[in-house]
Structure 1
Amino acid sequence: MARTSGWQAALIALSIRRRGVVLALAVLLAALAVNVARTASTDVFPEFAAKMVKVQTEATGLSPEQVELLVTNPLEAASSGLLGVKQVASKSLPGISILKLYFEADTQLQEDRWRVAQHLASVHLPAGIGPPRLIPLTSSTGTVLMAGLSSHRKSLMDLQSIAQWDIRPQLMAVPGVANVLVFSQQVRALQVRVDPQALQRFHLDLQQVQAATQHATGLLGAGFMPTPQQRVLLVSHGAADTPQALAATVLRATPDGAITLGDVAQVGYASLPAIGGASISGQPAVILKIQESYGANTLAVTRGVQAVLQRHRAALAAQGIALHAKLFRPADFITIAMRNVRDSLVLGALLVVLVIALTLLDWRAALISSLAIPLSLLAAVTVLVWMGVTLNVMTLGGLAIAIGVVVDDAVIDVENILRRLRANAAAAQPQPSLRVVLGACLEVRGAVVYATAAVLLVIVPILLLPGLSGRLFAPLAQAYALSVLASLAVALTVTPALSALLLAGRDHRLHTPAPVRIAQRGYGALLHRLLPHWLPAALITLLLVGGAALLARGMGGSFLPPLQEGQYIVHMRLAPGASIQASLDEGARVTQALERLPQVRLVAQHTGRATLSPDASGTQSSSLDVNLKPGADSAQALAAIERVLGGFAGASFRVNSFLTERMDNTVTSGAGAPLVVHVLGNHLHTLDAVAARVASVLSRLPTATGVQLQAPPGVPQLDISLDAQALRRWGLQPLPVLQTIQTAFAGSITGTVFHGAVPVPVRVVLDRSARSNPQALGDLLIRTPTLGFVPLSQLARISAASGPSDIRHLGGQREQTVLASTTSANLTGFVQRARAAIARQVQLPPGVTLQFEGEAAQRSATLQRLGVDVLGVLAGLILLLSIALGRRPHAREGHAATPLQAASTTTRQVLLVLLSVPTAWAGGVFAAWLGGGVLSLGAVIALLALMGISLRNAILIFAHAAQLQREQGLDWNTDTLQRAVADRLAAIVMTSLVTALGVLPLSLGLHAPGREIEGPMAVALLGGLLTSLLYNLFVLPSLALRFGVAHPRNQAPE
């Protein structure tokens, strides 16, 4: 019986003795795992967003410079020293500040939010500025659904009211919904539009109008009346809640009668100033953007949201309102992607089972080997779910890649058991079959355990990947590792128990299965001729590895391939300062052109920002969601979309898919482009000039597209500089003058009236005719303490100017950002050319630095980290292999090896085993080149997985050769090596074959939804498996015969 560690022998022996109990437990655990898998949360990708807390602060009426000075800088100063904060980014826009705090990966997000809230509560901001507000926590994908309302009978104000106050509360009640944003150009308000001439005629000012409006619409509780027996609640009514009632409000009583609001203003319903807008197929509409909570089940949330919308459909239709319930629904892509990967997994498993059955030609042996697949994968899924990992394309991909190793453990055991049972049946004195089963299991268990340890060791670098790479690929590695560990447990328990039940005691006086026998005979004859020719074999291997290395240096690289989501987002930007209406008009023209494309189903646009929105976009910015028709080719659609957009010269465009953009946001501090160049410094004009030069350089690159400044300068503005001497002369103070300007042009919200449960703000503002041109600003009448009026032009200097659309900070410095995309699949090559061109053509002023971010930078950082970690893995592998291959004596013709010879032999064999790694990598590189010429990050991850598989087979060969030497006293010669490889031929070939078949379905649909990442991985695996198999079967034996054992000086290998 083969020597192995005591615990393995005891466990296998126990499993054979108590095989009924073991199999019953296996069935119960499998049933539990099936139930866990059925109820598991599913998504297309793992939660990949960085740990970030977003803070929004309203500062109505302030310019970006004022927001930066009064709001953003104090908040940044208070937050930068927080425990765990690794980067601070901010954005100061007109009237709003957005602060983003990025935390280290090992922090707890809820604790991070609590600490931020505690710190910000102590920040004192100027009067009139709202409190800092933490934005609701959303998932990586963010948007779970976009729906819209449109009507030819109802106004946009009516639609907005229905969306905001009827539909939104019910959507917010759906479990997993974090926020619902409502985009509408019009929001109903009860407006008091003041005539400045009437104010002058009646000697009134805007402050008096404000006060009267506030008094008229105020609502206070009256308290209660106590009586001896009860307490009676007093409910007051009488606030002006209609235009007629508000217009009748008295401003001043005179002998000639009361002066009312209606005498100096028009009172009626109108829209608040537009901060955003929306359209569907170019027609005005209201859009609801439903955002998902962090960690929520996307499919479950989508079902809940759709149920709410469906309940409203009939009532909306009765009012002449069309409900567009599927403007954007990521659940469709998730469903298709998961189905494709799941089908690939199932098909791969079926192919593996078929090959096992055809190879072993024994239904019992095939059943035992095949059962390892569902048992191991279900066990891995159960542990993943208990760990809180969602089932997604990455975890399913890890399971698919693991199928080969999973079934290999069982195949090696079963194949060896059958071989030993046949040999025992032919022996003169057969042993009890259960003893033979136990011995056969133990015979291979030592080598398999070491081989499994090598497989697990090589995926450690994937588990240690930082940033987005780690969040995406770690679940794949976890699924792979758990499957391998589960297969080891199955091989130690279930496989021996089933073998004892189904194989022991049967008549095994049968020959080896014909396929195996034919393969062994043909392979043995070929190997016999090739064994002496080690030099040609070594040269061919060297050429293969060297050619692959040269090819890899010239291949393109990408972080992630394009995702086939069936939808694109077109970011459109007009000139700085463009109005909402101008953005919607241009968007309507773009929509009309896009919807003429045969691939496009529908286009929905939203511009600016939504009511209560956590994101702030300027009025010149729009997003157009382009829905493709089912079955449309994404690449052709993208090319057609970009051709259409090229015909619109009045706007700049950038096209991306939804999930790709979310990932880009994660690696670019929210910029959301494949290439981001941060221009960092202190002076805005200098940063704008350098950024413009960088953009010019990038736009001239052959494959560049979508080049634009993220915060373009040149927003038109009127600067109002109050004259201190003039103010003193008229007896005025600055603040009342500024308040009058704010009320006149921005408007002041003085109260709220209610129409049922719907709140309607009350706004005081100058009539539009008095504030529609620059001259009107100078003509604004300011009331003096002497009850006279003076035009603003006599109190201030008013001049036309231009300013920034927003001011951004990164790491405590001001920044201007340049965004760029490329039409080339070789993103790495494009970024290298871009950086070289910028270095040659852009001269940086003192104090200005450049920082590059994007997919290429993330890929480079990932590869650097992998390079360092792989060195550590190699050191671990050398130690592991030294233990595995140095555990037995070496003998030749009765001469025991000296310690020095034994150490030399172990070192030689370790090196020969490790040579299988670059050979496997070479095959993977050639396959990636044939599959498109781009070495994606997924393909690089596949090369790591190949390390373990190639080492596994090489270990089996040397371990079995050592066993033959130890147990049968054979020498290290041609016959021993031929026998060692021939005995393990079926196991080695089946290891590679079943692994290849397990991933083959993934490689057949490289561009199908869900296979975009695993497809290139599968292609690289297939190529590496082929070259690794050829090396282990033909090259390794030749090199092992020549260099595998350190002989005495007077001896040589036969």
Structure 2
Amino acid sequence: MRLSALSIERPVLATVATLLLMLFGVLSFSRLPVREYPDITFPIVSVLTVYPSADAQLVETDITSVLEDALSGVEGLRTLRSTSREGLSTIGLEFALSRNLDAAANDVRDRVARVQHLLPQGIEAPLVMKEDSESDGIMWLAVISDRHSELDITDFAQRQLKDRLAPLPGVSSVVLDGERRYAMRIWLDPDRLASRLLTVQDVEDALRTQNVSMPTGRIESTQREFSVRMGGGLERPEQFNQLILAYRDGYPVRLQDVGLAEIAAEDERKLVRVNGKPAIGLGIMKQSKANTLETARAVKRTLPSLEALLPEGMQLVTAFDSSIYIERSLHEVYEAVALSVILVVLVVFLFLRSARATLIPTVAIPGSILGTFVLMQATGSSINTITLLGFVLAIGLVVDDAIVVVENVYRRIEQGLSPTEAALEGSREIGFAVISTTLTLAAVFFPIIFLPGIVGRLFSELGIAVAGSVLLSGFIALTLTPAMCARLLSRTVVAGSPSAGSALDSSAWLQWLTRRYRAALETALQWPSSVLLAALASLAVSGLLLWVLPSELAPLEDTGWFAIHVNTPEGSTLDYTDRYAKDTERTATRIPEMDSYYTVVARGWRPTQVTRAVTWVTLKDWSDRDRVQREIVEEVKPALSAIPGASVFALNPPPFNQEDSKTPVQLVVRGPAYDVLDKIMTQVRHDTVNHPALVNIESDLDLNKPELRVDINRDKAADLGIPVETIGRTLEVFLGGRKASMFMREGKEYPVIIQTQPHHRGTKSDIDRLHVRGTQGDLIPLSNLVSLSETVAPKQLNHYEKLRAATISAGVGPGSTLSQSVESLEQIIRTHLPPGASISYAGETKEFKESSGNLHFTFVLALLVVYLILAAQFESFRHPITVLVSVPPALAGALLALLLFRGTLNIYSEIGLMILIGLVTKNAILIVEFANQLRQDGRPTQVAIVEAAALRLRPIIMTTMSTILAALPLAMATGAGAAGRWHIGLVVINGLMLSTLLTLFLVPLIYTMLAELRWRGPVRQVKETDRPEVVALKPTQS
């Protein structure tokens, strides 16, 4: 080829071109972002609106529905979900991967602002956040102390720590968990209020009118000016206790006469513990499109400066860190890359038996890999576990083209040509095959550009890494490799020394193997039925296993941590839930591999859900334990499920860092009314009891939350001149507390909250103690105006795509896979689905369903693209068929390995199957291309194909072994992220082995059949006189 001839003529030019690739590759590598996966996190924007004291139904109609109507048309919207519960509306908007997060958030803010005037008065302004409001933090810090109160710890964390962490890159917000914020709590005694003819409203009015600090103007003279501020604000509890509320019989009635003012926590309905010790947690919430690894690293760099701020006796610890797994997983893949390089270089040396000859194909590794980093930077890719896995496989591929060239030059030197002549002739002869194999492998990844969603993003960066490496290796094989062959190879290097006849001598066994292969091939061509049966069997096995093998989105990884969730019945108290949370902590401490745990009791955001708790259990380092995470979780599940009175279960982290703490099986049922949905959920829960494929079945629809309903006698209230608002405020103070004003403490404002004392609001009869003032000034017992009745109300009301919905979720049962569990649950739901109701998918289930259909389409499209490219290269529509017959054996080998070793069809194994298409066609192309050349020289078809197969046996073995050894570290993977690597390695190695074995016989047979077209029986025996001499490599010394 002209390119090869130019490189041989000008070796410095070829060398400089490769060195420039490597130089710019190093520069690009230093600029590439490092993360666990490609950017596969969908942009998520959340809208939170607080409506104090409103029930779920009021929140749904007055806030959620109004905002949903405004937001449903936002550009790039993928999913719209909402939850309405007491006092809070939460709307989650998930956008397409291509949507810019900042632009999406701005669009959401604009649409919310347009309809804000339609929202009811008394709400807090809607809060738009660039994160999933339901997500758990990527990292949790905790402040613990035996010497400081929780109030002091919270205040320090709020003032000194939170404000320093929030501006860090990638951090969306920092939330405090278990916080005890300062508040001036005014505890009122209803009986003492009534004895002094005072009401709750009187106390609130006094606080609002007397606890005031405000600017009043300025005083100006001819030379000076003073601003005037009235300092009437109260700051200390004793000042509040001395506050005069009214005068009775000429004596002042002070606050301390009817209650008590003290500094206490604003809210105590949340608990946090680290290894059993009370703590205040700081959760690092990342932006939905931010890099988890870079965000965590930024936080860790800040920790020393934060620790220096801590008062004596206060300690800042890392309670939970999800980035540790990412760091270790990347480290493991880096080690796999290094080991692959060593193994590939070793196998090349064992075949070539010369350091100088081994150097030639070895140069292709850094040249092509480093050069690919330039392409990755140009396309916005990153260094991650997926692209690194691609490089592990590419290491075996990038030397293939160089090996083929070197082997062909070897053969020409053995035939008596000079090194320069051999390099020219050898590269010319093999150049078309190199181009064909390179383009074919690169073409496998072309259909990926049509893939949407997570799979498309995963495959695209992998495709860029592998295809880029292979294309550059083809360029190096046609430029630098011939130039180096002409300079480094010689008859001495090829012939070697007579003394090099050790046990590692590759010539003897290659000669023996070539002879045996030729004889076997001739027999197969005479009696092709056995080969055809084997091919048909591989095709049938592939089709059968594709249906039989279980499938899932991704295999369960050992991430080094898992979560234990506690759900107590609705109406449970904080103390009741905490008792169960402590049970889970005791279970965690009995795990030998446990390193630490972090517990949060009462999850959620304004208001907290006191019936929910979670314990994150961090395991010891992977090198310090013998059991994997899956085995540990399976061991604790029986102990957790045996806990009576609550739903307690352990969950492994979802794949690909999906910000979702729910179980993997999630199906959404949409219907016309909540009572219809509730009936469906009840029937489904009944039918799934003891189902082997489903565990921990939960529904987010609960219409039976215990509630006390207050009915107001409006006619009587109107007759007495008592506004309904006054009754509502009195009840609010009695039951939940009401913010009356603010007070200053160390330069910062905190709320003043009035509420009746706890022992005066423990039963329904305590409402008899409350009074309101009538128009005549007399006190009216509140019990005369209201009546209480026990009832039930919705805990929360959910929408999916604006329709009323209920999500039923479940875990995958022992011995089952995600596909089996989803199919089982969907079948059960459909048996109870009435007209007008429908099923959708959510969470991991949704990604699994979408990825399965997309991958099947892409696999077929890849085969079609490869066929068309081969047809264009061979100028024939028949020869591509010959090449592609090597694919079914590869699939059969890979799928059989998954079946035997209990693997699954998942994104990783399907990535391996896609790569196999390109890998196995390389060997077939070598045989077909050389056979075509021999036929052009006048050789009969049978003679040409036998000679081509025999002469290409050596490079086929070398390239196959280099690829298998490159993938070997993946198949032997352990530690963080090993499951995904194991699936790819298993698929590639076994598929390549079986395909190579059958390809050596099947390709010549199909080639002969298609060439003759009228084949009627046994092919003519190849005579000894037609058999060309095959010269094997002789041992050499460098």
TM over 0.5, yes or no? yes
What is the 5 A alignment of 1:340-739? 340-425=332-417, 433-434=419-420, 436-503=422-489, 516-609=510-603, 613=605, 618-630=609-621, 631-632=624-625, 633=627, 634-660=629-655, 662-663=657-658, 672-739=662-729
Distance 2:828 2:638 in 1: 26
861-870 or 585-594, which deviates more? 861-870
Distance 2:218 2:8 in 1: 83
User: By how many angstroms is 1:774 displaced?
Assistant: 1.7
Aligned to 1:1044: 1011
Residues 1:769 and 1:860: Cα distance change in structure 2 (over 3 Å): closer
Does residue 776 (structure 1) correspond to residue 776 (structure 2)? The answer is no
Q: Is the CA contact (8 Å cut-off) linking 1:216 and 1:246 kept in structure 2?
A: no
Aligned to 1:881: 870
What is the 5 A alignment of 1:873-952? 873-886=862-875, 906-952=876-922
Aligned to 2:233: 239
Distance 2:1013 2:655 in 1: 55
Q: Is the CA contact (8 Å cut-off) linking 1:576 and 1:713 kept in structure 2?
A: no
User: By how many angstroms is 1:242 displaced?
Assistant: 0.9
Distance 1:573 1:919 in 2: 50
User: By how many angstroms is 1:1029 displaced?
Assistant: 0.4
Aligned to 2:854: 865
C-alpha RMSD of matched pairs (Å): 2.9
Distance 2:864 2:298 in 1: 52
Aligned to 1:960: 930
Residues 1:863 and 1:679: Cα distance change in structure 2 (over 3 Å): closer
User: By how many angstroms is 1:35 displaced?
Assistant: 4.5
Distance 1:14 1:231 in 2: 88
Structure 1, residues 940-969: CA drift from partner, whole Å, max 9, x if none? 221121111112221221111111222x32
Aligned to 2:826: 835
**What amino acid does structure 2 have at the position aligned with 1:640?**
E
Q: Aligned to 1:788, which of 774, 778, 785?
A: 778
Does residue 177 (structure 1) correspond to residue 179 (structure 2)? The answer is no
Does residue 1016 (structure 1) correspond to residue 1016 (structure 2)? The answer is no
Q: Aligned to 2:325, which of 329, 333, 343?
A: 333
Structure 1, residues 755-804: CA drift from partner, whole Å, max 9, x if none? 32554321122232332222223543122222122223322332111112
What is the 5 A alignment of 1:145-184? 145-184=139-178
**What amino acid does structure 2 have at the position aligned with 1:92?**
S
Distance 2:537 2:406 in 1: 38
Structure 1, residues 614-648: CA drift from partner, whole Å, max 9, x if none? x9762211111012233332122112221220221
User: By how many angstroms is 1:555 displaced?
Assistant: 2.2
**The residue matched to 1:605 in structure 2 has which SS?**
strand
Does residue 844 (structure 1) correspond to residue 836 (structure 2)? The answer is no
Residues 1:148 and 1:1049: Cα distance change in structure 2 (over 3 Å): closer
> How many residue pairs get matched?
1006
Q: Is the CA contact (8 Å cut-off) linking 1:618 and 1:805 kept in structure 2?
A: no
Residues 1:1048 and 1:865: Cα distance change in structure 2 (over 3 Å): closer
Residues 1:581 and 1:164: Cα distance change in structure 2 (over 3 Å): farther
Q: Is the CA contact (8 Å cut-off) linking 1:530 and 1:1034 kept in structure 2?
A: yes
Q: Is the CA contact (8 Å cut-off) linking 2:798 and 2:804 kept in structure 1?
A: yes
Aligned to 1:1000: 968
Distance 1:231 1:375 in 2: 75
Aligned to 1:900: none
**What amino acid does structure 2 have at the position aligned with 1:910?**
P
Structure 1, residues 241-274: CA drift from partner, whole Å, max 9, x if none? 1111222233335672433333333111122233
Q: Aligned to 1:111, which of 95, 99, 103?
A: 103
Aligned to 1:806: 796
User: By how many angstroms is 1:230 displaced?
Assistant: 6.0
Q: Aligned to 2:256, which of 250, 253, 262?
A: 262
Q: Is the CA contact (8 Å cut-off) linking 2:564 and 2:650 kept in structure 1?
A: yes
807-816 or 134-143, which deviates more? 134-143
Structure 1, residues 118-143: CA drift from partner, whole Å, max 9, x if none? 01011221111011111244799963
Aligned to 2:1027: none
**The residue matched to 2:873 in structure 1 has which SS?**
helix
Distance 2:751 2:758 in 1: 18
**What amino acid does structure 2 have at the position aligned with 1:64?**
A
331-340 or 854-863, which deviates more? 854-863
Q: Is the CA contact (8 Å cut-off) linking 1:156 and 1:286 kept in structure 2?
A: yes
User: By how many angstroms is 1:539 displaced?
Assistant: 1.1
Q: Is the CA contact (8 Å cut-off) linking 1:348 and 1:1000 kept in structure 2?
A: yes
User: By how many angstroms is 1:1040 displaced?
Assistant: 2.5
Residues 1:923 and 1:616: Cα distance change in structure 2 (over 3 Å): farther
Distance 1:661 1:49 in 2: 8
Distance 1:373 1:1053 in 2: 43
Aligned to 2:503: none
Distance 2:1006 2:696 in 1: 55
Structure 2 spans left out of the alignment, 5+ residues: 498-505, 1022-1038
Aligned to 2:732: 742
Aligned to 1:890: none
Structure 1, residues 330-353: CA drift from partner, whole Å, max 9, x if none? 222112211111111211121111
**What amino acid does structure 1 have at the position aligned with 2:800?**
L
Does residue 764 (structure 1) correspond to residue 739 (structure 2)? The answer is no
Does residue 281 (structure 1) correspond to residue 296 (structure 2)? The answer is no
User: By how many angstroms is 1:730 displaced?
Assistant: 1.2
Q: Is the CA contact (8 Å cut-off) linking 2:408 and 2:427 kept in structure 1?
A: yes
Aligned to 2:203: 209
Does residue 37 (structure 1) correspond to residue 5 (structure 2)? The answer is no
Q: Is the CA contact (8 Å cut-off) linking 2:535 and 2:888 kept in structure 1?
A: no
**The residue matched to 2:1012 in structure 1 has which SS?**
coil
**What amino acid does structure 2 have at the position aligned with 1:941?**
I
Residues 1:508 and 1:621: Cα distance change in structure 2 (over 3 Å): closer
**What amino acid does structure 1 have at the position aligned with 2:996?**
L
Residues 1:174 and 1:138: Cα distance change in structure 2 (over 3 Å): farther
Distance 2:935 2:574 in 1: 84
Distance 2:398 2:993 in 1: 19
**The residue matched to 1:326 in structure 2 has which SS?**
strand
Residues 1:298 and 1:826: Cα distance change in structure 2 (over 3 Å): closer
Does residue 1035 (structure 1) correspond to residue 1005 (structure 2)? The answer is no
Distance 2:101 2:58 in 1: 31
Q: Is the CA contact (8 Å cut-off) linking 2:36 and 2:293 kept in structure 1?
A: no
Residues 1:1050 and 1:715: Cα distance change in structure 2 (over 3 Å): closer
Q: Is the CA contact (8 Å cut-off) linking 2:449 and 2:456 kept in structure 1?
A: yes
Distance 1:141 1:90 in 2: 14
450-459 or 1036-1045, which deviates more? 1036-1045
**What amino acid does structure 2 have at the position aligned with 1:921?**
L
Distance 1:67 1:22 in 2: 71
Residues 1:440 and 1:78: Cα distance change in structure 2 (over 3 Å): same
Using structure 2 for the length normalisation, give the TM-score: 0.91
Q: Is the CA contact (8 Å cut-off) linking 1:359 and 1:516 kept in structure 2?
A: no
Distance 1:535 1:13 in 2: 45
Residues 1:121 and 1:946: Cα distance change in structure 2 (over 3 Å): same
**The residue matched to 1:318 in structure 2 has which SS?**
coil
Aligned to 1:902: none
Aligned to 1:73: 65
**What amino acid does structure 1 have at the position aligned with 2:977?**
G
**The residue matched to 1:1044 in structure 2 has which SS?**
helix
